[in-house]
Chain A
Amino acid sequence: MERDLERIREEEDRWKRECLNKHRFNRAETDWGEEIKPLYTPDDTRDIDYLEEVGFPGEYPFTRGPHPSMYLGRLWTMRQYSGYGTAEETNKRYRYLLEQGQTGLSVAFDLPTQIGYDSDHPLAQGEVGKVGVAVDSLADMETIFDGLPLDKLSTSMTINSAAAVLLAMYIVVAEKQGVDPGKLNGTIQNDILKEYTVRGTYIFPVGPSLRLITDIFEYCSKHVPRWNTINIAGYHMREAGATAVQEIAFTFADAIEYVNAGIKAGLKVDDFAPRISWIFNTHNNFFEEIAKYRAARRLWAKIMKERFEAKDPRSWMFRFHTQTAGSALTAQQPLNNVVRVAFQTLAAVLAGAQSLASCSFDEALALPTEESVRLSLRTQQIIAHELGVTDTVDPMGGSFYMESLTKRMEEEITEYLKKIDELGGAAAAIEKGYIQQEIQESAYRYQKEVESGKKVVVGMNKYQVEEPPTKGLLKVDPKVGETQIEKLKAFKTTRDSVKLEPALAALKNAAERNANLMPPILDAVRVYATLGEICDVLREVFGEYEGTSAI
Chain B
Amino acid sequence: MNQDKRIRTLVAKPGLDGHDRGAKVIARALRDAGMEVIYSGIRQTPEQIVDAALQEDVDVLLLSILSGAHSFLFPRIMELMKKKGLGDILVLGGGIIPVEDVPELKALGISEVFGPGMTSETLIKYITENLSAGN
Contacts and interface: CB of A to CB of B under 8 A. Distances in A.
Interface stretch (B83-91, B105-113, B115-123): B115-123
B117 A201 contact: no
A241 B21 contact: yes
Contacts, number: 100
A548 interface: yes
B42 interface: yes
A198 to B, nearest CB: 7
Contacts of B15: 111, 126-127
Nearest to A327: B21
A551 B116 CA distance: 21
B20 interface: yes
B49 to A, nearest CB: 12
Contacts of A476: 68
A547 B72 contact: no
Of the candidates A115, A127, A199, the one having the most CB atoms from chain B within 10 angstroms of its own CB is A127
A364 B116 contact: yes
Contacts of A130: 67-69
B60 interface: no
Contact of B117 (A126, A195, A460, A469): A460
Contacts of A478: 71
Nearest to A475: B98
A96 to B, nearest CB: 22
A366 interface: yes
A204 B72 CA distance: 26
B25 A447 contact: yes
Judged by DSSP, the binding face of B is loop
Given A444-B25, A547-B43, A127 B16 contact: yes
Band of interface residues on A: 35 or more
B21 A239 contact: yes
A439 to B, nearest CB: 8
Interface in B18-40: 18-21, 24-25, 27-29, 31, 37, 39-40
A263 interface: no
A200 interface: yes
A548 B41 contact: yes
A195 B42 CA distance: 11
Contact of A440 (B24, B37, B68): B24
Contacts of B37: 551
A199 B18 contact: yes
A201 B24 contact: no
Interface string A361-392: 00011100000000000000000000000000
A460 B115 CA distance: 12
A443 interface: yes
A122 B25 CA distance: 30
A449 B98 CA distance: 27
A447 B16 contact: no
A459 B81 CA distance: 38
Given A365-B98, A366-B98, A444 B18 contact: no
A549 B96 contact: no
B125 to A, nearest CB: 13
B43 A200 contact: yes
Contacts of A365: 96, 98
Contacts of A199: 18
Of the candidates B16, B39, B117, the one having the most CB atoms from chain A within 10 angstroms of its own CB is B16
Interface string A284-300: 00000000000000000
Contacts of B41: 547-549
A112 interface: yes
A131 B116 contact: no
A443 B21 contact: yes
A447 B25 CA distance: 8
Of the candidates B45, B71, B72, B120, the one having the most CB atoms from chain A within 10 angstroms of its own CB is B72
Interface string A119-155: 0000111110011000000000000000000000000
Contacts of A126: 15, 69-73
B79 interface: no
A451 B116 contact: no
Contact of A332 (B27, B39, B117, B119): B117
Of the candidates B20, B37, B68, B71, the one having the most CB atoms from chain A within 10 angstroms of its own CB is B68
Nearest to B65: A126
A548 B116 CA distance: 25
A125 B72 contact: yes
A240 interface: yes
A324 interface: no
B106 to A, nearest CB: 15
B20 A200 contact: yes
Nearest to B41: A549
17 contacts: A112-B16, A123-B16, A127-B16, A127-B68, A199-B18, A239-B21, A240-B21, A364-B96, A365-B96, A365-B98, A443-B21, A444-B24, A444-B25, A475-B98, A547-B42, A548-B41, A551-B31
Given A447-B29, A476-B68, 7 more contacts: A126-B15, A198-B18, A200-B16, A444-B25, A547-B43, A549-B39, A549-B40
Interface of B: 15-21, 24-25, 27-29, 31, 37, 39-43, 45, 67-73, 96, 98-100, 115-117, 119-121
